Structure 1
Amino acid sequence: MNNTSIHQSFILTFGYGNRSNYDTLLNYIKEFKIDFLIDVREKPRAWSRKWYGDQIEKFCHEQGIEYLSETTLGNVSGTSHWVSPDPEKADQVLQDIAQKAKSKTILLLCAEMDYHRCHRVEVAEELKKLTHQPIKHLK
């Protein structure tokens, strides 16, 4: 049997940084067959209107994937260390996402391009504990 036809699910992370368009994101959506884009910003706004949550949601809809803005997975620490604005609700949101991730590929979206400097690494690690899926940080 050909194992290349098996769909591998990942927890993917991506930071848009100063990108002015969706080209890189679109390539990743196609390459990894992303099912859910989960915005983990506390405030889904950006320097460019293109990266506002409502615009990303419209883009995702056009690609046939689901967009979820999960502001409780945002970060209020002011550093790369994740501190949720509502830790109790964040735990429930992580459980809900973990259920989706069992059979689907998810991408955690944030603003910081360098994942080493972003809280999404800690969010992804928490999801990995629940799903046991591998994490890939996309650039």
Structure 2
Amino acid sequence: MTNQSNSTKNSILTFGYGNRKDYDAFLSYIEEFNIAYVIDVRLSPRAWTRRWYGCAIEELCASKNIRYISKASLGNISGSHYWIPPKKDEVEESLLEVAEVLETGNVLLLCAEMDSSRCHRTEVANKLQKITSAPIKHLK
């Protein structure tokens, strides 16, 4: 991994779509924070509405020149905000892959739970920060 200068440190942002019926907030954050990558940390990139399915988000991201990456290995099988990854032996490798991506642009960790304090993505972001020392911002 290449070292970044502190003046160009990229950020880890997190976003939960919750029960949003449209992409307005999501797209606003993508633009405001110059998001280069959307990292989907859901175990299964599906939702109660097809709008938030991984394939739909990937298509939306592509239309905005943003890379969508599904990282089910960073998903959660606990059913709560306590993070229990599906395959613990894949977590470190996945975090390192996201850390490499973070070197080239801001990343947004995407999950379903709107409240970051009730979502495992906060723990994923914290572990990623330990690897990269990148700042974290939880979006609402």
Shorter chain as denominator, the TM-score bin is over 0.9
- Residue in 2 aligned with 1:3? none
> Deviation of residue 8 (structure 1)?
5.0
Question: CA–CA distance in 1 between the matches of 2:30 and 2:56?
Answer: 16
Question: CA–CA distance in 1 between the matches of 2:124 and 2:8?
Answer: 23
- Residue in 1 aligned with 2:78? 77
Deviation string, structure 1 residues 48-103 (Cα, Å, up to 9, x no partner): 00000000000000010000010010000111011100111121010011011123
- Residue in 1 aligned with 2:17? 16
**TM-score, normalization: structure 1?**
0.93
Q: For residue 44 of structure 2, give the secondary structure of its aligned residue in structure 1.
A: coil
- Residue in 2 aligned with 1:45? 46
Deviation string, structure 1 residues 1-58 (Cα, Å, up to 9, x no partner): xxxxx65511000000000111101000100100000000001100100000000000
- Residue in 2 aligned with 1:91? 92
- Residue in 1 aligned with 2:134? 133
- Residue in 2 aligned with 1:115? 116
**TM-score, normalization: structure 2?**
0.93
Q: CA RMSD in A?
A: 1.0
- Residue in 1 aligned with 2:59? 58
Residue identity over aligned pairs, in percent, reads: 51
- Residue in 2 aligned with 1:31? 32
Structure 2 gap segments, 5+ residues each: 1-6
Report how many aligned residue pairs link the two structures.
134
AA matched with 2:51: K
Question: CA–CA distance in 1 between the matches of 2:8 and 2:65?
Answer: 17
Q: For residue 37 of structure 1, give the secondary structure of its aligned residue in structure 2.
A: strand
CA contact under 8 A between 2:9 and 2:134: conserved in structure 1?
no
Question: CA–CA distance in 2 between the matches of 1:113 and 1:32?
Answer: 18
Question: CA–CA distance in 2 between the matches of 1:134 and 1:100?
Answer: 15
AA matched with 2:79: G
